[in-house]
Structure 1
Amino acid sequence: MAAQVDEETPLLPTAEGSSIPWFQFSIVLLLLLAEPLSAHIIYPFAAELIRDVGITHGDETHVGYYVGLLQSLFYLTEAIGVLYWGRLSDRVGRKPIILLGLFGLSISSLLFGLSTTFGMLVLSRCLCGALNGNAGVIKTMITELTDTTNLPQLWAYIPFAWSTGTTIAPVIGGYLSRPAEHFPEYFGQNEFWKTHPYFLPCVIPAAFSAFTWIVGFYLLKETVKSPVPISHLKKHCADNSVQESQDFVSMHDKPVELRGIFTPRIFTAVGNYAFLSLVEIAFRAIQPLFFATPVEFGGLGLPPSTIGNILSLSGALSGIVQVFLFAKIHNHLGSKKTFVRGVVFAAPLFLTFPVARILVKARGMDTLVWVIIGLQAILPIGYGLAFGAVFMYINAASPDQASLGATHGFSQMSTSIMRAIGPVTASSLFSLSSGQNYLGGDLVYYVLFVVASVTICFRDFPPMCAPELSDRVSPRIAKSHMKK
């Protein structure tokens, strides 16, 4: 008699499974860290940078538009290419795509730090996103490292790696920007650091990406069975024989056609992930902007170093909870309840902004304002749990093992689109609200509160029943079932 499943059932079985290859998994996490480090390094000094390049011509109310555009460009160009990279990784293997992404992150970070015009900033961010398909490919590789019994524990480390990057990056960006002013004894005599005041923080993610490229090249093991050599792929593509090239992938597994991943189950899982990402990135976009904006324009007027500390604290708290509590919460509540209870933390976040704005104008930066800032650091922990749960649904929705790369590529493309829309829309609304004083400058927060509330309404859309995973999530699963 089949076991009964409902929304309280974890998507993954709880039986004892295979051991976790911790060394390879640690390498994968190290590689994953490069993307948030590169993406978030600009957050503490983005507003100052926009003022410095002169694109706003001194109009403080326009800073938000251009900050949001810079933040969105990375995800927009990533969305254009990530499905292609994921699909290609099903054929040539995960490792070559990951190494290419790390190379792109390193070069684009250096270009961003050397940029002195807004056009150069745009070009470097576009290059960074276009060459980077790592997030989806790395998630696929993690799935392939072990069987389903260990996945809740491993998935918990993905937000942790991201949180670590978002914790370290703001500190680096905040403290190392303008080194000629902050560290005059070391950098004050060199004109280069005065001309390029944001190059030093950008060197750190560039160097880290280069280091992880070397680590990945020598130590990372391929997880795709019999990947197509790139030389073979080039030859077959030139001969218009793409179908033949698929024969190299594996004697047993071939990726389904691209349209094969566009199923209702995948759309449901990916849709929830995408809208959750929209709310999250909108919050991440306006939070440092709100902190950096002068009090008279509706912000808190905090310096980059303080902003970096606040963002780092939030990232650290979220990462700790993910690693030590997510697997326990998921196993206790099940995938659906973990997702539902995590999502409800999103909407209250946006109400903390107008409260803080009113308090700082009336009382200055007193204890109560810092309590509100503390809430902004704690509440994201809740919806961070929802990310871990929705990853389970995406994994389970893949048509087969050979199409995991395309499935995660599609999910990453969808969330990248939302992450491209979120910053520029939220930041533009911030500037519009501040410049036109709509609802006392709080229009942006109420709009985002409504968006987050709508996302909560869609929380019931994940499948009510756990899909049959069989052996498609990991090649080790079939073996574990045969032993029972």
Structure 2
Amino acid sequence: MSLTIADDGSPVYDSEETPLLKQHKKTPLPILQIGIGLILQICEPICSQSIYPYINELVSTLGITGGDERKVGYYAGLIESLFFVTEAITVLQWSRLSDHIGRKPVILVGLTGIMLSILCFGLSRTFVTLVISRCLCGLLNGNIGVMKSLMGELTDPTNRAEAFALMPVTWSMGMSLGPLIGGSLARPSDRFPNAFSAEFWKEFPYFLPCIASASIVFVVFLVAALFLKETVPKRNARPKRPSSPSPDCTLAEAVEPPSSHEPLPLQKLLVFPVVISILNYTTLAVLNISVNALLPLFFHMPLDMGGLDLEPVTIGYIIGVYGAGTGLFQFLFFAKLVRRFGPRRMFVTSLSAFIPIFLMFPVVNIVAKTLGVSLLVWVLVGCQLVLLFFMDTAYGCIFMYITASAPNKRSLGATNGLSQTTVAAARAIGPALSTSLFSFSVERNILGGYGVYAFFTLFSALSLLLAVRLPHQIWAESQELDG
């Protein structure tokens, strides 16, 4: 019996035999554990995104730019990138460690690291202490790869699209809550003078959003510590593979090869499915993190420097709408679109949305210079946000490819760790590169100050050449069905 995948992503067989996937239908999702796994993913975006509404203002108040607003982008981008630089150093080690000792202890350590770092960030009054707090968060946080492994182990090919459709939803919730917290609670002594009149809030004007973010992480830590179940089996508890599938066994159990009980060495992970999936994830991450860094900078900078000159609270609301809209779009449409068009077609189409997204930045600024920040400007910003909603569909698709590319199940953590290492390195480059190019374009008047957008439009077009190398068929579907 052979298997092919139709354009709509459904399996097509050339045999009259009943395929294993049809025998088992769609496996019900373990709702409680999936729910906890999804909640875990909300912590990092809340803590990382909460600084975006005020980070450029904070840099301006530190006195490190010498009063030159055009240099804000250099330092803000550096601070935003440091988390990913240090995460790239340790995320693979954390993920490989989770293959051996389990996902839960590594996740709990990561949550502790996030709490400590965001509290330190709020208490920082110098550029050096800001740098140290961001580095601390990256070094201790290996959760992003481990949580993807956890979700992969809680699902199988029959229900993975539904579960992975929810991953961007919770991530987007964090992206929505983070900026809302940061924009609404920054400088509380100015915005809420009656409740926050103490000198402490004037001395540390950005501590309130930090402690609010840390409190959310603490609640999630307690939930994980009490209710999260370990998904990595004990090394001395190898299940025996039945000679033929039992009617009561799950699809994953029926097709699991004996070799899936031992983690593979790192060099054996570098096979084509893993490499091509990781490369596409990396290009997606570079483009996305660059947009995320450019948006608040674009909104903050004066009109004559290529921005919109908006207040931090307004910036927080806009980025919050971006996060909420993305989550709602993924929840309503991701699984349906993937089943209708297939993960490859959806990934390529979603990635292509970056081209108009970057081209709209100079258009919005030109309209604002001509007509002011008018209704037309907000309509154009809204169109840009809608494109961003659709673009985020690419994440669920590439997560499915990465999960399926792991050579065996006990190497899933290492595979996700390897992907997060390269992506963390790329994300470390993205904010610093994009914000620095913004400042460089404005300072040197490259293409009228819009040179940064020309660069990323070209990069977006070139990334499609890599995206089309992904196969129409996800590897694990044929491997597990033929297993």
Query: Normalising to structure 2: TM-score of the pair?
Result: 0.90
Match of 2:136 in 1: 127
Match of 1:276 in 2: 284
Distance (whole Å) between structure 1 residues aligned to residue 134 and residue 384 of structure 2: 27
Match of 2:460 in 1: 452
Distance (whole Å) between structure 1 residues aligned to residue 103 and residue 379 of structure 2: 44
Matches within 5 A, 1:385-400: 385-400=393-408
Which amino acid is the alignment partner of residue 463 of structure 1?
P
Match of 2:113 in 1: 104
Distance (whole Å) between structure 2 residues aligned to residue 324 and residue 117 of structure 1: 44
Shift of 1:421: 0.6
Distance (whole Å) between structure 1 residues aligned to residue 270 and residue 330 of structure 2: 30
Secondary structure, in 3 states, of the residue corresponding to 1:4? strand
Shift of 1:208: 1.3
Match of 1:82 in 2: 91
Shift of 1:6: 5.9
Match of 1:420 in 2: 428
Distance (whole Å) between structure 1 residues aligned to residue 323 and residue 4 of structure 2: 38
Match of 1:405 in 2: 413
Match of 1:236 in 2: none
Larger CA deviation: 77-86 vs 450-459? 450-459
Shift of 1:469: 4.2
Matches within 5 A, 1:70-469: 70-188=79-197, 190-226=198-234, 253-469=261-477
Shift of 1:168: 0.7
2:69 maps to 1:60: yes
Q: Does structure 1 conserve the Cα–Cα contact (< 8 Å) formed by 2:168 and 2:330?
A: yes
Match of 1:238 in 2: none
Secondary structure, in 3 states, of the residue corresponding to 1:301? coil
Match of 1:5 in 2: 5
Shift of 1:98: 0.3
Distance (whole Å) between structure 1 residues aligned to residue 205 and residue 443 of structure 2: 28
Match of 1:237 in 2: none
Q: Does structure 2 conserve the Cα–Cα contact (< 8 Å) formed by 1:93 and 1:227?
A: no
Structure-2 change in CA distance of 1:168 and 1:227 (3 Å)? farther
Which amino acid is the alignment partner of residue 449 of structure 1?
T
Structure-2 change in CA distance of 1:172 and 1:347 (3 Å)? same
Q: Does structure 1 conserve the Cα–Cα contact (< 8 Å) formed by 2:65 and 2:72?
A: yes
Q: Does structure 2 conserve the Cα–Cα contact (< 8 Å) formed by 1:33 and 1:165?
A: yes
Secondary structure, in 3 states, of the residue corresponding to 2:349? helix
Shift of 1:348: 0.7
Match of 1:244 in 2: none
CA RMSD across the alignment: 1.9
Shift of 1:470: 6.6
Shift of 1:466: 3.3
Secondary structure, in 3 states, of the residue corresponding to 2:58? helix
5+ unaligned residues in a row in structure 2: which ranges? Answer: 13-20, 237-257
Which amino acid is the alignment partner of residue 361 of structure 1?
K
Secondary structure, in 3 states, of the residue corresponding to 2:229? coil
Q: Does structure 2 conserve the Cα–Cα contact (< 8 Å) formed by 1:279 and 1:346?
A: yes
Distance (whole Å) between structure 1 residues aligned to residue 213 and residue 313 of structure 2: 18
Q: Does structure 2 conserve the Cα–Cα contact (< 8 Å) formed by 1:17 and 1:149?
A: yes
Structure-2 change in CA distance of 1:377 and 1:94 (3 Å)? same
Q: Does structure 2 conserve the Cα–Cα contact (< 8 Å) formed by 1:343 and 1:382?
A: no
Q: Does structure 1 conserve the Cα–Cα contact (< 8 Å) formed by 2:3 and 2:11?
A: no
Counting matched residue pairs gives: 453
Secondary structure, in 3 states, of the residue corresponding to 1:156? helix
Which amino acid is the alignment partner of residue 67 of structure 1?
A
Match of 1:36 in 2: 45
Structure-2 change in CA distance of 1:11 and 1:420 (3 Å)? farther
Distance (whole Å) between structure 2 residues aligned to residue 456 and residue 6 of structure 1: 22
Q: Does structure 2 conserve the Cα–Cα contact (< 8 Å) formed by 1:11 and 1:466?
A: no
The one-character-per-residue Cα deviations of 1:380-426 (angstroms, maximum 9, x if unpaired) are 12221111111111111100010000001111111111111100000
Distance (whole Å) between structure 2 residues aligned to residue 459 and residue 259 of structure 1: 24
Which amino acid is the alignment partner of residue 259 of structure 1?
Q
Shift of 1:372: 1.2
Shift of 1:17: 2.7
Secondary structure, in 3 states, of the residue corresponding to 2:412? helix
Structure-2 change in CA distance of 1:113 and 1:426 (3 Å)? same
Q: Does structure 1 conserve the Cα–Cα contact (< 8 Å) formed by 2:157 and 2:476?
A: no
2:55 maps to 1:26: no
Which amino acid is the alignment partner of residue 282 of structure 2?
A
Q: Does structure 1 conserve the Cα–Cα contact (< 8 Å) formed by 2:155 and 2:163?
A: no
Larger CA deviation: 399-408 vs 288-297? 288-297
Shift of 1:31: 1.2
Match of 2:253 in 1: none
Q: Does structure 2 conserve the Cα–Cα contact (< 8 Å) formed by 1:82 and 1:413?
A: yes
Which amino acid is the alignment partner of residue 435 of structure 2?
S
Structure-2 change in CA distance of 1:85 and 1:356 (3 Å)? same
Distance (whole Å) between structure 2 residues aligned to residue 252 and residue 40 of structure 1: 37
Which amino acid is the alignment partner of residue 4 of structure 2?
Q
The one-character-per-residue Cα deviations of 1:150-207 (angstroms, maximum 9, x if unpaired) are 100000111111100010111110010001111111112x111111000000011111
Secondary structure, in 3 states, of the residue corresponding to 2:429? helix
Secondary structure, in 3 states, of the residue corresponding to 1:365? coil
Shift of 1:7: 6.1
Larger CA deviation: 299-308 vs 206-215? 206-215
Larger CA deviation: 143-152 vs 110-119? 143-152
Secondary structure, in 3 states, of the residue corresponding to 2:194? helix
Q: Does structure 1 conserve the Cα–Cα contact (< 8 Å) formed by 2:73 and 2:435?
A: yes
Q: Does structure 1 conserve the Cα–Cα contact (< 8 Å) formed by 2:183 and 2:315?
A: yes
Which amino acid is the alignment partner of residue 338 of structure 1?
M
Distance (whole Å) between structure 2 residues aligned to residue 133 and residue 206 of structure 1: 17
Which amino acid is the alignment partner of residue 173 of structure 1?
G
The one-character-per-residue Cα deviations of 1:215-255 (angstroms, maximum 9, x if unpaired) are 11111100000169xxxxxxxxxxxxxxxxxxxxx997110
The share of aligned pairs that are identical, in percent, is 42
Which amino acid is the alignment partner of residue 287 of structure 2?
V
Structure-2 change in CA distance of 1:10 and 1:202 (3 Å)? farther
5+ unaligned residues in a row in structure 1: which ranges? Answer: 229-249
Distance (whole Å) between structure 2 residues aligned to residue 98 and residue 316 of structure 1: 25
Secondary structure, in 3 states, of the residue corresponding to 1:99? helix
Query: Normalising to structure 1: TM-score of the pair?
Result: 0.90
Shift of 1:27: 1.1
